[in-house]
Amino acid sequence: MDSIMGTETPGNANHRARPRIATLWLGGCAGCHMSFLDMDERLMDLAPRISLVYGPLVDRKEFPDQVDVVLVEGAVANEDNLHHLQEARKKSRLLVAFGDCAVTGNVTSMRNTQSSAGVVMDRSFVENASLHPGVPRSGGILPRLLDRVIPVHQAVPVDLFLPGCPPSADLIFYLISELLEGRSPDLSDKLKYG
Amino acid sequence: MTGEELLAAAEKEQAARRQAKYCVAVCAAAGCHSLGSTSIREIFQKAVNEAGLGEQILLYGTGCLGLCHAGPLVEIQRYREDSWERWLYHHVNEGMVAEIVRHHLGGDQPLAQFLYPLDDPFFRSQYKIVLENAGRINPERLEDYIGADGYSALWKAVSEMTPMDVVREVTQSGLRGRGGGGYPTGLKWSTVAKSKGSRKFVVCNADEGDPGAFMDRSILEGDPHRILEGMALAAYAIGAEQGYIYVRGEYPMAISRLKTAIRQAEKVQLLGNRILESAFNFRVDLRIGAGAFVCGEETALIGSIEGNRGTPRPRPPFPAEKGLWDMPTLINNVETFANVPAIVRNGGQWFSRIGTEKSKGTKVFALAGKIVHTGLIEVPMGISLRQVIFDIGGGIPDGKQFKAAQTGGPSGGCIPLPHLDLPIDYESLIKVGSMMGSGGLIVMDETSCMVDVARFFMQFCMDESCGKCVPCRAGTAQIYRILEKISSGTASLHDLELMEELCDLLKHTSLCGLGQTAPNPVVSTLRYFREEYLAHIEQKTCPAGVCRMGAPDAACGSAEPVQEKENCL
Amino acid sequence: MSVKTLMINGQMVSASEDQTLLDVLRENGIELPTLCHLDGLTPIGACRLCLVELAGSNKLHPACMTRITEGMEVTTHSERLVKYRRMILELLFAERNHFCSICVINGQCDLQQMGYDVGMDHVRFEYQCPAVEVDASHERFIMDHNRCVLCTRCVRVCHEMEGAHTRDVMGRGGSSRIITDLNQLWGKSGSCTGCGKCVQVCPTGALFEKGRSAAEVVKQRDFLVYIKTAREKHLWIQ
Ligand SMILES: Cc1cc2nc3c(=O)[nH]c(=O)nc-3n(C[C@H](O)[C@H](O)[C@H](O)COP(=O)(O)O)c2cc1C
Ligand code: SF4
Ligand code: SF4
Ligand code: SF4
Ligand code: FES
């Protein structure tokens, strides 16, 4: 588990050769990450073969350079999401839209039926508030919402799409294994939405 | 009424016109009407009566005189030594009326300062068949139409021709459908004539829904009996006893004129049973549309007449085989029918000598946009676009440069400067990526942005899509959305690619002509003005200065952060 | 009934004259996605998923409404047809809310299955996200317009099979809506018999029964052909 949860040790030739994998958590419920953990004992198979260098499962603040594969969970809902995604795209070779929210916007994007972020903020912090209605104003606490929630591929180029809410652990394992084998995973007969 | 009575009535009317001191035709079409021509007519009549000329002057309202931008128009005619003299007064107001009555009608002194020169290219380059009665008849008097040889073609048909003779005459004329597609009319007639069915129907498509088009309306308002006669000839030719005119509810004046005309014709047996004492029966009823563009599509129109929701259905079967209540049905456009009486009267040969090899006769166009003479014109097929725009249309106002002309409305395309000398006919227009359409001609100058033009038409198609088939219903919305992004400078080259794919999809997979042709304005502006699209996308500028760049983008899918707003963080 | 021979994707096939091209294709194991078509209902050729190429015609033809003719040469899966089908599905998924994760018939949905069949791993178009209603006023059924693809199967079954004509379409283009009676709440409809046929034929989660979870939903559609055949052969009166 150590090497999966931790970061790789620079300078260790053995570790350096392992593909550097990152995960990113945007506007989603973390279910896709849970499904990742649901790979259970297969995580043990993967552990020696990859380096998990960034993500909610890793204690690291900055998205590192030279990532081989990044799995992006969640839709792009606010400025932070957008910023992190763009950063990840710049620093990663292969970007996977990971789960329905990333692929379609899914539940996260259902606020798009409202005309703008302002309406959504009002609805959440004023109309439906029972105590102290009011939109929080002090800067830097909450990231600013985008007017519309968008799927990952509408913000940055995406290399692979892995739909599912969440994608099953089997599929995730398949995808990573194929990538490790140097093959491009073919999901066309394994699609599942929802 | 018998044939002899018809001829006698015509004779009488013509004599009355010849004997009048002057005939005064006040344009009563919508353009001039909106400029107050109706009260001008009343004032005229009063002035004539007061001058004691009531007996000698024939004063009447008439159909569109064409020069709509210069209305109200009044045409004065006098028969002298076997020919007609004509004068056209423009921008007529109350003060002018008094002077015209006093000097021109009373003293035979035309007022040169108020006259529009009739040798102007606007008139010289036109050729009138469909609009031949504009200025000549009062559309609300059957006698006027009869006086202009009206119903003589019908008399000729029922008295000396077999139905097949009529079909042959129309076939020989080379007439093609004026509703847009240009399908050979004779061929359509002979198909319906041969189709088996216990009943057959004739339908006149008067739904005219193209934005800016008013050709059909002008014909209906200006010469309603002409349509009835054309339909009766068609009914005789194909063996139908019932006809419908499907006219949009937004045309109340056309509807009222048609109602009047039908009542008049029925009263004297020009419609109804035993027409002109022959064995031919034919009734016409009006069906009023609710103003959906798609109801002009023939299968949707049929559905609408049957009382169903107006949505197209796949063809085959074509209406010629299975139309109204699954019976063989002939559907033609207003202008198509309007050509028929002249063809039967003068012979198909006569008609086929006008126009080009494959496009015969004339075409009515409504000139609109950045052009000096906006209005209604009728020109022989084969005339060049340059002649239409610069001779007849008077060119571009304010010394601006011509950029492109749009024909075919939302189904058509734009024609840029290098193709100005193109002869107007069905085939050449298609070759350059546009189409004849029903006759709207919109001129654009350097201040028009082609992306904006495409966006306008796509919005029209999106709003007018009937919603039945997916490519059109959802595809027009997606194309529109991309155009919106392009014109606000927020689109990428990838969006452009996606839009071109969508255009291809709609063209090939939509159920009816609306969806199939909806991409045309986009495709043709891309073909000739791609650099303008690229300027919007890459430089984020609108070369014509029309589009507002970086406009706040509230629609779905924007990756732009929200603007600083009061109630936001 | 006379027999015709046609060529489908290069294979000779025989069929009887009263069959539609779609019947013949299915009989020969060639699957096309179909959404508006349902055996037993009048075909309308609206979804455009079953379009095929016919030799000698430059247009594409909906197999569900195409009568077969002798010597007809049919191509069902050319590169562009495959591409068009996927695009049409993408357009549908982007048109309203088709997020399967929160749908009552997730796993039983025709639309979802078609997405899988054409290998649609994502939608390239912008999601339109319109604000549309859910009508839960009926005591047993719910109509969720978010899931409706406007195939009008429900309209046709209600009119043709149940004879109630409770349902119809209102509006144009993207704002088209399936309505009950004169755009009243379903629960207030005077004409609906509560037969549930519309719920059975709906290809998506737009029409569903209250109180059933996704796993319990099974759409029954055999009754259509059963009723239609009985009607045509006058089996009621024998
Ligand atoms: C969306 C759509 C709208 C149409 N609108 C009209 C119309 O307003 N008037 C018309 O005459 N034809 C219209 N047409 C063409 C008709 O379907 C039909 O071809 C025509 O009326 C046949 O008459 P024609 O042969 O005399 O042209 C339309 C077609 C489409 C696809
Ligand atoms: S192409 Fe458009 S207007 Fe024609 S049937 Fe399809 S949705 Fe209706
Ligand atoms: S339940 Fe039956 S009657 Fe009611 S709308 Fe559905 S099909 Fe029609
Ligand atoms: S409710 Fe269902 S059956 Fe009816 S049109 Fe919508 S998707 Fe089709
Ligand atoms: S199934 Fe044939 S068009 Fe929908």
Ligand 2 within 6 A of CB of B511: yes
B244 & B271 share domain: yes
Task: Give the mutation target among C197, C199, C202 for probing the ligand 3 site: most ligand atoms within 8 A of CB.
Answer: C197
The pTM is what? 0.93
DSSP state of B284: E
Of C51, C172, C176, the CB nearest to B509: C51
Q: Give the closest ligand to the alpha carbon of residue C207.
A: 4
* Burial degree of B224 (CB within 10 A; 0-12, 13-18, 19+): buried
B199 & B314 share domain: yes
Ligand 2 within 6 A of CB of B313: no
Chain A touching partners, 3 or more CB pairs below 8 A: B, C
B440 & B468 share domain: no
- Order across the sheet with B242-248: list the strands: B283-289, B242-248, B201-206, B329-333
B193 & B257 share domain: yes
Closest CA to C52 of C14, C16, C26: C26
Q: What is the pLDDT of residue A13?
A: 46
What would the CATH number be for the domain defined by C84-232?
A: 3.30.70.20
B113 & B180 share domain: no
CB C22 within 8 Å of CB C34? yes
**Which stretch of A167-176, B56-65, B249-258, C219-228 has the lowest confidence by average pLDDT?**
C219-228
Q: Taking CB atoms and an 8 Å limit, are B567 and A115 in contact across chains? A: no
Residue B496 in tokens: 């452009």
Closest CA to B430 of B408, B463, B454: B408
Give the pLDDT confidence of B519-537 residue by residue, as tens digits: 999 999 999 999 999 999 9
Of B474, B505, B555, the CB nearest to C95: B474
Q: Give the closest ligand to the alpha carbon of residue B463.
A: 2
Residue C122 in tokens: 């994502």
B437 & B551 share domain: no
B180 & B318 share domain: yes
Q: What is the pLDDT of residue B563?
A: 37
Residue A2 above 60 pLDDT?
no
DSSP H helices, chain A, are 2-5, 13-16, 31-37, 42-46, 79-91, 100-104, 117-122, 169-180
B279 & B391 share domain: no
CB B195 within 8 Å of CB B43? no
Task: Give the mutation target among B202, B331, B466, B510 for probing the ligand 1 site: most ligand atoms within 8 A of CB.
Answer: B331
* Residue B357 falls inside a structural domain: no
Q: What is the pLDDT of residue C67?
A: 94
The CATH number of whichever domain residue B403 belongs to comes to 3.10.20.600
- The architecture (CATH level 2) of C3-77 comes to Roll (3.10)
Q: Quick one: average pLDDT of B162-167?
A: 98
Residue C51 above 80 pLDDT?
yes
Give the pLDDT confidence of B379-431 residue by residue, as tens digits: 999 999 999 999 999 999 999 999 999 999 999 999 999 999 999 999 999 99
Compute the distance between CA of residue C207 and CA of residue C200 in angstroms, rounded to an integer: 8
Q: What is the pLDDT of residue B422?
A: 93
Given the CA of residue C178, which atom of ligand 4 is nearest to it? Answer: 5
Of C65, C128, C169, the CB nearest to B314: C65
User: What residues of chain B have any CB closer than 8 angstroms to a CB in chain A?
Assistant: 553-562, 565, 567-569
DSSP H helices, B306-363, are 334-346, 348-352
Task: Count the Cβ atoms, other than its own, within 10 Å of residue B359.
Answer: 24
Query: In whole numbers, what is the pLDDT of chain B averaged over residues?
Result: 94
B233 & B300 share domain: yes
Gyration radius of chain A over CA positions = 18
Residue B545 in tokens: 């200065």
Band the pLDDT of A16: cuts 50, 70, 90. low
Give the pLDDT confidence of B65-93 residue by residue, as tens digits: 999 989 999 999 999 989 999 999 999 99
Range of the domain at A74: 8-180
B407 & B347 share domain: no
Return the domain boundaries, chain C.
3-77, 84-232
Q: What is the pLDDT of residue B552?
A: 47
Distances (CA, A) of C238 to B408, C222, C230, C233: 58, 22, 10, 9
Give the pLDDT confidence of C53-110 residue by residue, as tens digits: 999 999 999 999 999 999 999 999 999 999 999 999 999 999 999 999 999 999 999 9
Q: What is the pLDDT of residue B555?
A: 39
The domain boundary residue, chosen from B394, B419, B445: B445
Instruction: Give B565's contacts in chain A (Cβ within 8 Å).
Output: 117-118
B216 & B348 share domain: yes
CB B132 within 8 Å of CB B102? no
Q: Determine if the peptide bond prior to B316 is cis (ω within 30°).
A: yes
The interface predicted TM-score of the complex, written ipTM, equals 0.96
Of B553, B555, B565, the CB nearest to A118: B565
Strand B283-289 versus strand B201-206 pairing type: unpaired
* Residue B132 falls inside a structural domain: no
Rounded to the nearest 5°, which phi and psi values hold at B108?
A: 55, 30
Q: What is the pLDDT of residue A137?
A: 73
Domain count, chain B: 4
Instruction: Give B568's contacts in chain A (Cβ within 8 Å).
Output: 117-118, 121, 135, 144-145
Ligand 1 within 6 A of CB of B205: yes
Domain count, chain A: 1
* Residue A121 falls inside a structural domain: yes
Compute the distance between CA of residue B414 and CA of residue B407 in angstroms, rounded to an integer: 7
Band the pLDDT of B566: cuts 50, 70, 90. very low
* Residue A1 falls inside a structural domain: no
Task: Give the mutation target among C152, C155, C159, C167 for probing the ligand 3 site: most ligand atoms within 8 A of CB.
Answer: C167
Range of the domain at B162: 149-352
Give B246→chain C minimum CA distance, Å. Answer: 20
* Residue B340 falls inside a structural domain: yes
The CATH number of whichever domain residue B93 belongs to comes to 3.40.30.10
Compute the distance between CA of residue B347 and CA of residue A93 in angstroms, rounded to an integer: 76
B216 & B111 share domain: no
Give the pLDDT confidence of C134-193 residue by residue, as tens digits: 999 999 999 999 999 999 999 999 999 999 999 999 999 999 999 999 999 999 999 999
Percent of chain C with pLDDT over 90: 87
The domain boundary residue, chosen from B291, B323, B352: B352
Sequence letter at residue B218: S
Q: What is the pLDDT of residue A10?
A: 45
CB C200 within 8 Å of CB C161? no
The domain boundary residue, chosen from B445, B461, B485: B445
Helical (H) or strand (E) element with B232: helix B224-238
* Residue B140 falls inside a structural domain: no
* Residue B129 falls inside a structural domain: no
Q: Taking CB atoms and an 8 Å limit, are C127 and A151 in contact across chains? A: yes
Q: Taking CB atoms and an 8 Å limit, are C131 and A193 in contact across chains? A: no
Give B475→chain C minimum CA distance, Å. Answer: 7
Instruction: Give B557's contacts in chain A (Cβ within 8 Å).
Output: 148, 150, 154
Residue B183 in tokens: 């399908």
The CATH number of whichever domain residue A71 belongs to comes to 3.40.50.700
* Residue B1 falls inside a structural domain: no
